[in-house]
Amino acid sequence: MEILVCVKRVPDNEENEIELNSDGNDIERDDLVYSVNEWDNYAVEEAIQMVDEHGGTVTVVTVGDEESEEVLRREMAMGAEKGILVSDDAFENSDGKGIATILKSVVEKGNYDIIMTGAQADAGAAEVGGMLAAMLDLPYASLVNKIDVAGDKLNVGREVEGGDQEMNEIELPCVLSIQTGINEPRYVGIRGIRKVASVEIPSFSASDLGLASDSVGEAGAQVKKVDYFLPDLGDGAEMLEGSTEEIIDKLIEMLKAKGGLQ
């Protein structure tokens, strides 16, 4: 089974508030650390487990600058055999469709049974997997939280509303976007990364992939981010202030009025 997993290097923002840069056109990135998108990490773990059981290879690919190589190495330290870095200045400011176009050209250079993406990444768009599938004319399932190999097909579970699991049979090759919680990703330490530090990672540019410059990047984007802004704080929420005692007294009064104390 040949599996390609598309991964992205994203800012790790969980513990720290995101701030805007002075121009307001981007978030303040100086103090941020980056890591692999959490959803993508689950996808790689799933791919490795499938290959462990059924044979084959896992390849990870990312579209990004040279620093993105770091996330490829991390995923290779987990057990992905090959890494592909796709990097070109022309790719900057690609929209989802641009990224899907780039990935499509990567997929076509190989011969994959399954292409995985994370269900979503930092922008929360959840779009690239579905677009890629449509471009490749492959069947697609989003929010996958279970994969069983059933002969020459897969049985995949999708996480749907209410915590239910929608089971589907899907033909190969296919594209799957992976939801968190599908497995328990293994740990990768510094040692693991150092072990794969010298593995050659091929890098492809737009011309290597035969991509027309107007189909990707800023030029090809139909969707363009204008700026970032912080949402209004407490809009609608009346912020209670004062001593804890005062706050609690006020709150209890409100709760009584709203039927919150029974």
Partner 1 sequence: MSHALIPPAQYSFLGLPTIVISFIITLAGTATFVFLIYKRLVPLFGAAPDNTRLERIPERIVNTLKIWLAQYRQPRYMFAGILHIAIFFGFLILLIRTASLVVIGFWADFGIPGFTSGPYVIIKDYAATIVLIACVIAAVRRGIFTPERYKVPEKYGHDHTKEAVFVLAVISTLMLSESLFEAALIAAEMQKGGHVTYAAPLTLVWIFANLLSETSISALQGTHVISYIVHDICFFFFACFLPFGKHFHVFTSIFNVVFMRLDKGNIKPVQYGISDSQLDELESFGVKKLEDFTWKHMLDFYTCADCGRCSDHCPADAVGRPLSPRFITIKGRDAIFKNYPIFGPKPESALLMEGTYEEDEIWSCTTCGACEQECPLGIEYIDKIVDLRRGMVDEGMVPQTLQKPLKALEKRGNPWGKMEKKRLEWADKEFVKTCEVKSLEKGEEAETLYFVDSISSFDERMQEIARSTSLILDAANVDFGVLGKLERDSGSEVKRFGEEMLFQDLKETNSEAIKESGIKNIVTADPHAYNVLKNDYKDLPPIEHITQVVDRKIREGKLQLNPLEEKDKVYTYHDPCYLGRHNCIYDAPRNAMDAIPGLTRVDMQKCRDRSFCCGGGGLMLFYEPEEETRMGVLRVEMAKKAGADVIVTACPFCLVNMEDAIKVAGMEGSMEAIDFSELIARQLKS
Partner 2 sequence: MAQIYAYIVHKDGVADDSALELITAAQKIDAGTGVTAIVTGSGENLDRVCNEMAESYKEVYKIDNDAFAYPNAEVIRKVLVNILPGDSIVLVPHNTFGMDLAPGLSIKMDSAYASDVVDVEGMDGSTLKIIRQEFGGQVSTHVNVDISGGAVITVRPGPFAPDESKGAGGQVVDKSGDIGDVSAKRKYLETVVQEAGDVDITKSEVLVSVGRGIEDEENIEVANELAEAMGADVSCSRPIVDAKWLDKSRQVGTSGQTVKPKVYMAMGISGSFQHLGGIKGSPFIVAVNKNPKAPIFQVADVGIIADILEFMPELTEKISEG
Q: Binders of partner 2 among 180-199, rule CB under 8 A?
A: 180-181
Binders of partner 1 among residues 28 to 57 (CB under 8 A) are: 31, 33, 35
Is residue 60 within the footprint of partner 1 (CB under 8 A)?
A: no
Q: What is the Cα–Cα distance from 29 to 20, expressed in whole angstroms? A: 8
Provide, rounded to whole angstroms, the least separation between the CB of residue 197 and partner 2. Answer: 30
Task: Give the single-character DSSP code of 92.
Answer: T
Angstrom distance (rounded) from CA 42 to CA 52? 15
Q: Which does 127 bind (CB under 5 to 8 A by kind): partner 1, partner 2, none?
A: partner 2
**Residue 26-45 contact track with partner 2, rule CB under 8 A, x = bound:** -x------------------
Residues 6+ apart with CB under 8 A from 30: none
Residue 61 falls in which region: left (phi positive, over 0), alpha (psi -120 to 50) or beta? beta
The two beta strands, 140-150 and 153-159, are antiparallel
Take residue 10 and report the two structure tokens written for it. 């994203």
Backbone angles phi, psi at 154, to 5 degrees: -120, 145
Q: Which of 89, 137, 161, 184 binds partner 1 (CB under 8 A)?
A: 184
Q: Which residues, 49 to 88, sit near partner 2 by CB under 8 A?
A: none
Nearest residue to 58 via CA among 76, 42, 36: 76
Considering only residues 85 through 144, tell me which ones interact with partner 2, judged by CB under 8 A: 95-97, 100, 119, 122-131, 133-135, 138-143
CB under 5 to 8 A by kind: which of partner 2, partner 1, none does 167 bind? partner 2
Q: How far apart are CA 86 and CA 68, in angstroms?
A: 9
Stretch that binds partner 1, among 117-125, 166-174, 190-198, 207-215 (CB under 8 A): 190-198
Q: Binding to partner 1 by residue 245, rule CB under 8 A?
A: no
**Which residue stretch of 54-62, 84-92, 205-213, 218-226 sits at the interface with partner 2 (rule: CB under 8 A)?**
218-226
SS3 114: strand
Where are the extended beta strands (E) located within 64-216? 82-86, 114-118, 140-150, 153-159, 165-171, 174-178, 203-204
The answer to whether residue 188 forms part of the interface with partner 1 (CB under 8 A) is yes
Residues near partner 1, by CB under 8 A: 12, 14-16, 31, 33, 35, 78, 184-192, 194
